[in-house]
Every structure is written in structure tokens, then in C-alpha cells.
Amino acid sequence: MHGMCLATSSGYNEPMPGEDAMKRADSGVKLTYDDFLLFPDDGKRHELIDGEHYVTPSPNTRHQRISSNLHWMLRSYLEGHPIGEVFYAPFDVVFSDFDVVEPDLLYISRERAAEVLTSKHVKGTPDLVIEIGSPGTRKRDETIKRRLYESSGVLEYWVVDPEVDIIRVNRRSGDSFGRAHEISLEAGDVLTTPLLPGCELPLAGVFKE
């Protein structure tokens, strides 16, 4: 059939953006930051911990309110006490080529910022990391992520539990976190930290609807 023009599409069999990285994740291969950068921008949170791929669905309304409350409270304090900066997700924290996470909130002191803050992400260890839990992430937050933050040198790690209105504070003592200190809305507790001298965070404000 000489002379017949056959329509072709050069991109017909090309993989969609991020498809190769997702296939590698499904294959059990240990992934790196280069793979992480290829994950699709699908509204979900993609993270790597020891090269393993974790996906978290988009946050719900309560989660976002708590995140907004905490960010506003911390930002208000830092405006009057310019000793560092607070950031919120999505913002990559690259601990290593195999460990890349997106905490809900994080604080970096002015002293540490020069070492770890780049124009694109955090490359190194924040002073404070805050994760707002959900039924699907609670176990990961309390175990896998706690170990990662502990081994990476994070000074404090707060785990917010919206189900029971409590915050578990993991504070570094030497080379590891001490036993988590639990504070609650029901008890009328106020969260303080030596990282932010004079800062008081009433849990009534953190969990405000």
C-alpha cells in the first residue's frame, strides 16, 4: 500500500511523568531523592524513609485547621522574637539520599538556617519537627518517623493527635529522645519549649475549631 500516509504519535508509548518512579517503588527497589523528584504531583504526600516509598492522602479539614493554628501561633511569636523561621508542608526535608520527608510544620533556628536552608528545600536537620497524625499515619509517626528524626539529630519532635486532642512531645536528651511527654486540651495544658524562650502555646488555641 505504497503512498498511504499512516498517522503516528511519537509519545503514544511514552510513560507518564512519574510513572517510572512509581513502578520502581512498586518493585521494592530502594529509592533515592532522584526518584522522589519524579513522583507525580497528585495532591498526595510522597516521602522516602530508608529508600521506602510512603504515600499519605490529602489532609482533612481538622488537620488543616490545627496546622493553620500552630503556624499562626508560632509565626506570631517569631515576629516578635526573630530567632528563626517556621515552615509548613509541602516543603521537602532531605536528611539523606534515601530519607526525604514533608513534615506538617518545622522550625529552623537562625543559627541552623545557614547550614541547612536552601532555595528549594531543607538539606539537613531542622530544630523542631511537628507531625499532625491521622488514623492512617499514627503508627508511622510514632515509630518509623520518630526513629528517623531521633537518629537525624532533631532537637524536638511533636506528634499532634487530633483524635484525642493531645500532643506528645519528644525532646532530645543526649543522643536520643527521652520518654515522650504528653499534654492535653482536656487538662488545659500550655505547650512550652526551650527552643522558643517565652513562647506559650495553649492547647485551646492549637485545637481551636
Q: What is the pLDDT of residue 138?
A: 85
Q: Structural domain tally of the chain?
A: 2
Q: What is the pLDDT of residue 157?
A: 98
Across 43-118, the runs of DSSP E, i.e. the strands, are 45-49, 52-56, 84-88, 93-96, 99-101, 105-109
SS3 percent helix, strand, coil of the chain, rounded to 5, is 25, 30, 45
In this structure, are 29 and 107 located in the same domain?
Answer: no
Give domain status of residue 167, yes or no: yes
Q: What is the pLDDT of residue 185?
A: 98
Each residue's pLDDT expressed in tens, for the chain with a length of 209 residues: 444 333 333 443 444 445 555 545 555 689 999 999 999 988 889 999 999 999 998 899 999 999 999 999 999 999 999 999 999 999 999 999 999 999 999 999 999 999 999 999 999 999 999 999 988 888 899 999 999 999 999 999 999 999 999 999 999 999 999 999 999 999 999 999 999 999 999 999 999 99
Q: What is the pLDDT of residue 135?
A: 80
In this structure, are 126 and 154 located in the same domain?
Answer: yes
Q: What is the pLDDT of residue 26?
A: 58
Give domain status of residue 32, yes or no: yes
In this structure, are 82 and 168 located in the same domain?
Answer: yes
In this structure, are 42 and 128 located in the same domain?
Answer: no
In this structure, are 191 and 127 located in the same domain?
Answer: yes
Give domain status of residue 196, yes or no: yes
In this structure, are 195 and 144 located in the same domain?
Answer: yes
Lateral strand order in the sheet of 52-56: 52-56, 45-49, 99-101, 93-96, 122-123
- Which structural domain, as residue segments, surrounds residue 51? 19-56
In this structure, are 191 and 90 located in the same domain?
Answer: yes
